[in-house]
Amino acid sequence: MKYRSLFWKIFFCFWLAAAAMIGALNVMLWFSFASDPNPERRRGALGEALNLYAESAVQVYDSEGPQSFEQYVSRSLKEAGTEIALFDGTGKALIAHSSSEVADVAAEIQQTRQHVSHVTALGRLTWGRPVVAPSGRTYIFVSRLRQPYVPRGLPRLGIALSILAAGVISYLLALYLTSPVKKLKSVVQSFAEGNLDARVAPQLGSRRDELADLGREFDRMAERIAALISSQKRLLADISHELRSPLARLTVALELARKNTNGKAMAALDRIEMESERVNTLVGQLLALTRLESGAERVPPEMVVLEDLVQQIVDDANYEAKPQNKEVKVLQLAPCRVRGSSELLRSGIENVIRNAIRYTAEGTAVEVSLGRGDSAVLTVRDHGPGVPESELAHIFEPFYRVGEARERSSGGVGLGLSIADRTVKLHRGSIRAENVGDGLLVTIELPLTPSPATVQPVAEKMPV
């Protein structure tokens, strides 16, 4: 899972917010205790108890003497965990004590003649007050509670547990919110890859929220697109069939005419044959281009061994080139695996190479090279007239002609490079043309599949 995904964002935001709230609440509680050290106000019962305690302790000392008092003190230490110290009116300790805290409090009381209470950072309370015994003598009573009087710092375990619980809840919440998004994404992805039957509804279950609505809207859209594409495909198939049936009859009738005229109209018949062949090529290429542009063509996730494909195309192209005293040469063939349709790539690359054969001068060779960098780089270079710089950008447009008369006589219909362009783009690649010395250099770049070592080559299934 990616760390920038919606899931982690929701999860961390909720968790952080919950943790911050838990923390803030605890700190506030602690401060409200710690900042108000007056025990009477905070805890009336404790205040009363301490007062009572002070009076009875003083009475014991005053009326029964130090020995009884010591018994009293040790009992109180044992039973209540409270240390007690007693001073006379001048601040002289009447009973030994070890704490400087206690001495400080006693000194303060002697000066102010009032209650004094101290709370240490650890939360222990030292409290004292002046007490006037029934005999009229004044004493200073100080006691020190052994138990922390307010929570010692923050209750760490509790806080950790509640933050953990908040984490679990945030996790479940994030999961609940993002799981339909993930499902939606996988369906959209599959649809985009050409699986026109991909729908969200079966994955949503009984959800009825906005995300489920979004899914249902996607399904409606998918339904519509699938219908459009399939009708387009049908239309293309029909057009292809309807245009080619008369052409098929025409060629047969033409050959019959050839037989029956005994060679008298040969030139005209040859011309008819050539033109009908041209119409046939045009129909084929126009259909191919329309299919590519309409999105009716899907790129299968098939592994294509590009070097084998290029070699096959070059072999075939040489078949065409040799009779024209031209040649197609392979300069370099780096091993390249790309993902896509070998059939479409074949026709795309073939069109570029055929175009180069058409323009390269007689007696020269078209040079084909397949290199490997960040992507597969196929270059096709001819030794022909090149293309004027101002027109370079247009040569991939359908029916764009550079040298009008030249191209017609060379037999092209003006769609080859457009087909190559659309095919390469369908495979997420790029194609560009530039003039180099005495000819045109067309460069095709196709993204490589990640690791060529682990893929299963399908070269042998491909050449069809």
Instruction: Quickly list H helices, 208-300.
Output: 210-260, 266-294
Give the range of 137-145, 181-189, 208-216, 248-256 binding other proteins by CB under 8 A: 248-256
Residue 446 in contact with other proteins, rule: CB under 8 A: no
Residue 284 in contact with other proteins, rule: CB under 8 A: yes
CB of 256 to other proteins, least distance (A): 5
Residue 447: name the closest of 423, 463, 424 by CA: 424
Give the range of 25-33, 91-99, 245-253, 398-406 binding other proteins by CB under 8 A: 245-253
Residue 271 in contact with other proteins, rule: CB under 8 A: no
Q: Which is nearer to other proteins, 249 or 394 (CB)?
A: 249
Residue 320 in contact with other proteins, rule: CB under 8 A: yes
Distances, alpha carbon 278 to alpha carbons 272, 284, 292, 408, in Å: 10, 10, 21, 10
CB of 452 to other proteins, least distance (A): 16
Close Cβ partners of 370 (under 8 Å, ≥ 6 residues apart): 306, 307, 310, 330, 332, 333, 334, 336, 376, 377, 378
User: What whole-number distance in Å separates Cα of residue 460 and Cα of residue 464?
Assistant: 9
When binding is defined by CB under 8 A, the residue of 62, 297, 307, 421 that contacts other proteins is 307
When binding is defined by CB under 8 A, the residue of 252, 266, 331, 436 that contacts other proteins is 252
When binding is defined by CB under 8 A, the residue of 99, 190, 240, 443 that contacts other proteins is 240
User: What whole-number distance in Å separates Cα of residue 334 and Cα of residue 256?
Assistant: 50
User: What whole-number distance in Å separates Cα of residue 296 and Cα of residue 292?
Assistant: 7
What single DSSP character describes residue 450?
S
Residue 319 in contact with other proteins, rule: CB under 8 A: yes
Long-range contact pairs involving 160-163 (C-beta distance under 8 Å, separation at least 24): 162/22, 163/15, 163/18, 163/19, 163/22, 163/23
When binding is defined by CB under 8 A, the residue of 57, 174, 288, 413 that contacts other proteins is 288
The helix (H) or strand (E) run that includes residue 86 is strand 82-88
Give the range of 194-202, 217-225, 243-251, 377-385 binding other proteins by CB under 8 A: 243-251
Q: Which is nearer to other proteins, 47 or 284 (CB)?
A: 284
The helix (H) or strand (E) run that includes residue 13 is helix 6-34
Residue 168 in contact with other proteins, rule: CB under 8 A: no
The residues annotated with a catalytic role in the active site are 241
When binding is defined by CB under 8 A, the residue of 219, 297, 350, 445 that contacts other proteins is 350
The helix (H) or strand (E) run that includes residue 431 is strand 430-435
Give the range of 22-30, 184-192, 240-248, 261-269 binding other proteins by CB under 8 A: 240-248
Contact footprint for other proteins (CB under 8 A): 240-241, 244-245, 247-253, 255-256, 259, 273, 276, 280, 284, 287-288, 307-308, 311, 314-316, 319-320, 330, 333, 343, 350, 459-461, 463-464
